[in-house]
Amino acid sequence: MESELKDLNSKPAKPQSVEPIHEEGSTKDDRPLLKSDSFPTPSESIEELEKKFAAYVRRDAYGTMGCGELPTKEKVLLGLALITLVPIRVVVGMTILLFYYLICRIFTLFSTPNREDDQDQEDYAHMGGWRRAVIVQCGRSLSRVMLFVLGFYWISETHRVPHTESKSRTENDGRGQSEEAERPGAIISNHVSYVDILYHMSSSFPSFVAKRSVARIPLVGLISKCLGCVYVQRESKASDFKGVAGVVTERVKEAHQNKSAPIMMLFPEGTTTNGDYLLPFKTGAFLAKAPVLPLILRYPYQRFSPAWDSISGVRHVIFLLCQFVNHLEVVRLPIYYPTQQEKDDPKLYANNVRRLMASEGNLVMSDIGLAEKRIYHAALNGNNSLPSVLHQKDD
């Protein structure tokens, strides 16, 4: 579920500094994603492509696109897992999904979904009372059970206090008007895998930004509405995109001001990486001028990396199910309170939060984005036709 609050069909802006510090705030993120040297040439080797698109390169035992040559021992382990572990995990996982769907269906009976004015958005996240509490608590518990089924038996969580300079910004800036810490309007996280969604559901059960087609997926569609997902169509017209961005901004403001409102969970990178890099942030999460809660996810591995970068979805799911133990580390940072200057300039706000997360998570800041990811995938598949790559539908 790759969230992105930017129209990908818009023409790339002219090259400029990757991280401007003082610019006029804007609802449009015009940070350049493509550079002239991003286009692969037929003569480029795999090594040259990996250097250019390092944020999407797989470095585990399974190699590029998960198609590397495996040693005999690994092949035997895969074969055993396919006939023993995978069927059990699939059956148990589908049972959990169906069970939670039934919970959502029963506890939303005779309830009218919340609908945004003039937007094709509806959700059950604003439903109050004991029925909402049952949906949330069951969702959190069953998400953790699902992670256990996938091999994430232990999840390491660290609450980190930033360095002195960053600490003063996160604790003191913008909070002088209240002794009690303000509620963040959104959780900001790096995006590594679809497993991120399950972790955040088990932790805080937030609302996400999702493709509109998710609402029509059997079982998952109703669950996404109970989460309060904001649906976006990436190939939609600019006017529709502005409407969705407005819905997200209002939802962030609502979560900040109302403790009973569902909190937003946003991946400002707009796509997944291999977990070692942090892509440029889009400004959609920062337009509301509300505090945010930065959170960093890491997936340590020995054989197979749970990161969903340059590998197909089906192959990734199979290999993930075949791995008996998977690891997840979470670093929670203090709530980030924007200064007045950051409130006036969402791009500055986004860049500063990104720098903090990169520093505290030991992540490398990269200046590439989703467009380069599509180019890299196309090059690996032998397709160097740039127009068709840039205008293809989401992975």
Q: pLDDT tens across 207-237, in order?
A: 998 888 888 899 999 999 999 998 887 655 5
Q: What would the pLDDT profile of 90-145 be if each residue is shown by its tens digit?
A: 999 999 999 999 999 999 998 888 776 555 678 888 888 899 999 999 999 999 99
**Could you tell me the pTM of the whole model?**
0.81
Of 315, 318, 324, residue with least CA distance to 67: 315
Lowest mean pLDDT among 31-45, 217-231, 362-376: 31-45
Task: Please give the pLDDT value at position 41.
Answer: 56
Check whether 262 has a pLDDT greater than 60. yes
* Closest to 4 (Cα-Cα) out of 268, 243, 313, 197: 268
Q: Quick: pLDDT tens for 329-340.
A: 999 999 999 999
Helices (H), the chain: 46-52, 72-83, 85-107, 129-149, 164-171, 195-203, 220-227, 238-257, 313-322, 340-344, 346-360, 370-380, 386-390
Interhelix angle 313-322/85-107, rounded to 10 degrees, is 110
The two three-digit tokens of residue 369, written as one number: 């984005």
Could you give the CA distance from residue 379 to residue 39 in angstroms, rounded to a whole number? 9
| Mean pLDDT score, 345-350 | 95
Rounded to an integer, what is the distance from CA 116 to the centroid of its chain?
23
Residues written for the chain = 395
Least confident range of 114-118, 316-320, 329-333, 366-370: 114-118
d(CA 229, CA 209) in angstroms, rounded, equals 6
Q: Give residue 63's region: left, alpha or beta (phi > 0; psi -120 to 50).
A: left
Percent of the chain with pLDDT over 70: 76
Q: Identify the pLDDT of residue 42.
A: 55
Site of tokens 């148990």: 92
Sign of CA dihedral 12, 16, 18, 19: negative
Token pair 């293809």 is found at 392
Task: Give the Cα separation of 27 and 284 in Å (integer).
Answer: 7
Domain boundaries, the chain: 39-390
Least confident of 5-9, 39-43, 368-372: 5-9
d(CA 23, CA 8): 22
